[in-house]
Amino acid sequence: MVGSPLRAQFAELFIRVGLIPDGGGTWNLPRLIGMGRALELFYSGASVPADEARAIGLASYVYPTEDFAASVAAYATRLAAQAPLALTRIRRAVRDAQDSSFAEALAREAALQREILSSADGFEGFRAFLEKRPPVWRGE
């Protein structure tokens, strides 16, 4: 990305108009970037450049402006090729693990894994692995 402009900025601007963050910001942002950094953004209303946002965990990826659309499309294509049942259960497991013990998280993972393994996609994934070919997901 050297020499490529990154124009994106991230900010929590509520303080500038005398409000508190909403839309789940006070819950999400501290979990994403840590309490100290979140409070700094909430209190100051400062903008965070794209490269810094990536460095602190506020953004997973940043792309040069001229490559943005193609890069996002390529990322979306990679995600769309993944197993849909696994994707939804990963999201559920990670979300629910935030408010549970380690033992509860392990039990939830095992239950969700059993759901997948008893599905058509679970069978397809196993069969494709044994046959050394890419799986064909149906979301079933």
Q: Is the same domain home to 15 and 73?
A: yes
Report pLDDT digits (tens) over 8-53: 889 999 999 999 999 889 998 998 999 999 999 999 999 999 889 9
Question: In this predicted structure, what is the pLDDT of residue 5?
Answer: 59
pTM, 2 dp: 0.70
46 and 27 co-located in one domain: yes
As for how many domains the chain has, the answer is 2
**87 and 63 belong to one structural domain:** no
Query: Is there a single domain that holds both residue 20 and residue 46?
Result: yes
C-alpha separations of 56 from 26, 30, 31 in Å: 17, 12, 12
Convert the pLDDT of each residue in 82-126 to its tens digit.
Answer: 999 999 999 999 999 988 999 999 999 999 999 999 999 999 999
Distance CA 103, CA 121 (A): 27
Q: Give the domain range for residue 21.
A: 9-79
Question: Is the same domain home to 48 and 109?
Answer: no
